[in-house]
Amino acid sequence: METRSKIAAAVDALFDEQLECLQKLVRIPSQRGEEAAAQEFMAELMAGIGLDVDKWVIDEAAIKDHPGFCPVSISYENSWNVVGTHRSREQGGRSLVLNGHVDVVPVGKAESWTYGPYEPVIKDGWMYGRGAGDMKAGLIANVYALKALHHIGLQPSATVYVQSVVEEECTGNGALAAVVRGYTADAAFIPEPLEPKLLRGQIGPIWIRVEVSGAPGHASGDFGLGADAIANAIELIQSLRELEKQWNARKTQYQPFQNHPHPINFNVGRIQGGEWTSSAPSACTFEVRVAVYPGQSPAEACKDFERHVAEAASRNPYLKHNPPKISYPGFMQEGYHLTGADAQEEVLRRCHSEIWDQQLEEHAFAATTDARAFGLYGNCPTLVYGPYCKNPHAFDECVDLESLRKVTKTLALFVADWCGLEARAAQP
């Protein structure tokens, strides 16, 4: 118990430094296509604790035929993955992946943020900023869990891969590329900010683009065909609520979502159409994120979606003869149900109880994480467990710092228990 107490105390001793490090990372914008500077920061951080750093640009050709691949809409030219490898002397423990994603979603109107999206202010125990919770806090926790061990002269006695990947928010190809490159292990741990609970299941997201046509005409309605593409798109969007209801009614067939109140959400996230205020619009495109259950085929879900849209369009006088065009610009993922991880779960339960003084709870999540890449394609059961976060993807995103402290302690103990410990070699 003395060693375990020292590990927890080391996290406390380094926590102010950990928060300063997190603030530095939050200050670096890392939306899709602009992750390079943040990844340079992560590479330097990993090298600074003695990890062997591998940094590579994702090769689309290497993963495009993989069943976990998703269509790509933005070049990988300035986007790369970073993996820092710890190799022990004894190799007596079980290997581990510590994974996190560096990409963040757009900030929306910057003036709607209380402190600014890239101004990581700490107030009342919360750190604000885009990515502070989702999930740069987890990325830094992965590093500082190892650093806490180093602080007391110890290191894991097994291989540990610390990963900072891109494109979690739109395809998952970053984590997939790490799996294909060989960075998998006996277990993986992702400290996503989904509360300090074990994530038992997650849905698989699908991004769908629907292009709706119309015919331009004068706003008076007196000239031309006057088929309003925007109105037609709205009609189709409204019809999707019935399909969403049907898919949610199937939840009893899919573990672990039987008791989830509303696992399947259809989110229309983008819409664009029209050319001239005084003309009926000739085109409108909307993009919708739908979801599938673990064990449900994304391909079959897409066919179901296409059938529904075709049926709804057939009831529209214009769309009946000019059907919408459907394409898939991003996520095309399976869901993930954590099974076969009794040993990993037992270690997490023990470490969680020790730090939090309560039993570990579990939940199912109506969104996705990179756990599926390792669990489905890397033969690597993946635990998702992280700090509390408010307003992810919204204005004033923030992470609870006390929960981050405890999650870092839990994670450090997990590394110690899962991998085993050995004396750290003297550093030059």
In angstroms, what is the C-alpha Rg of the chain?
23
**215, containing H or E segment:** none
Cα–Cα distance for residue pair 126/140, rounded to 1 Å? 16
- Those residues whose C-beta lies under 8 Å from the C-beta of residue 407, and which sit 6 or more positions away, are 138, 141, 191, 196, 385, 386, 387
- Report the C-alpha gap between 24 and 30 in whole angstroms: 12
**CATH number of this structure's domain 205-327:** 3.30.70.360
Residue 133 pLDDT exceeds 90: yes
**pLDDT higher than threshold 80 for residue 426:** no
For the stretch 137-191, pLDDT in tens is 999 999 999 999 999 999 999 999 999 999 999 999 999 999 999 999 999 999 9
- Given a contact cutoff of 8 angstroms between Cβ atoms, the answer to whether 199 and 374 are in contact is no
pLDDT single digits (tens) 266-302: 999 999 999 999 999 999 999 999 999 999 999 999 9
Q: Is the backbone peptide bond immediately before 256 cis, with ω within 30 degrees of 0?
A: yes
- Provide the total of helices (H) and of strands (E) in the chain, helices listed first: 10, 19
Q: Tell me, what DSSP letter sits at residue 160?
A: E
Cα–Cα distances in angstroms (integers) from residue 188 to residues 56, 161, 342, 356, 414, in the given order? 21, 9, 13, 21, 11
User: Would you say residue 234 has pLDDT above 60?
Assistant: yes
Nearest to 294 by CA among 204, 411, 386, 380: 204
Structure tokens of 178?
């790490």
- Taking 60 as the threshold, does the pLDDT of residue 37 lie above it? yes
Confidence of residue 427 (pLDDT cuts 50, 70, 90): low
Mention every residue, 6+ apart, whose C-beta is less than 8 A from residue 3: 152, 154, 416, 421
Express each pLDDT in 373-383 by its tens digit. Answer: 999 999 999 99
Is pLDDT above 90 for 78?
Answer: no
Give pLDDT, residue 73: 81
Examine residue 135 and say whether the peptide bond preceding it is cis (omega within 30 degrees of 0). yes
Q: Where are the domains of the chain?
A: 2-202+335-423, 205-327
Q: Which CATH architecture fits 2-202+335-423? A: 3-Layer(aba) Sandwich (3.40)
C-alpha separations of 132 from 26, 28, 231 in Å: 6, 11, 39
Tell me what pLDDT residue 218 has. 86
User: How many residues belong to the chain?
Assistant: 428
